[in-house]
Amino acid sequence: MISLWLPVAVYMAAIYWGAALTQVPGPATGISDTVLHIGGYAGLALLTLRATSRGRWSGVTARAMTLALVIAVVHGLTVEVEQMFVPSRFAEWRDVGNDVIGALGGLSAAWAWGKLFTE
């Protein structure tokens, strides 16, 4: 169980840490904030799906996917709340929306992969 949830916890902690920085280093490659949110939460949702499905494709059910989505979205909301208290940072609904889009995209990709390659 720890081997499934530890990567999720570390990933979440890394996002919290980055959100707590008062001065955000700009991406060297010029990647937009939108792309960072979508990509970051696609990754979080996939890691969380791995944990909620107990690391097995047979465990990828609607319940496991829904739980992974809820966990990722709640995390995104709490990150925005955190940023309300960090000097020079702002909470934005747009960021939460991008987090939801990323989580849904990651989970959709996992679902499609499962349909194409595991059945």
Q: Are 49 and 107 in contact (CB under 8 A)?
A: yes
Each residue of 18-47: pLDDT tens digit? 889 887 766 656 778 899 899 999 999 999
Question: What confidence score (pLDDT) does residue 84 get?
Answer: 93
Q: Which residues of the chain have pLDDT under 70?
A: 25-29, 119
Question: What confidence score (pLDDT) does residue 86 get?
Answer: 92
Question: What confidence score (pLDDT) does residue 26 get?
Answer: 62
Question: What confidence score (pLDDT) does residue 27 get?
Answer: 60
Q: In 3D, which of 4, 13, 69, 91 has the Cα closest to residue 61?
A: 69
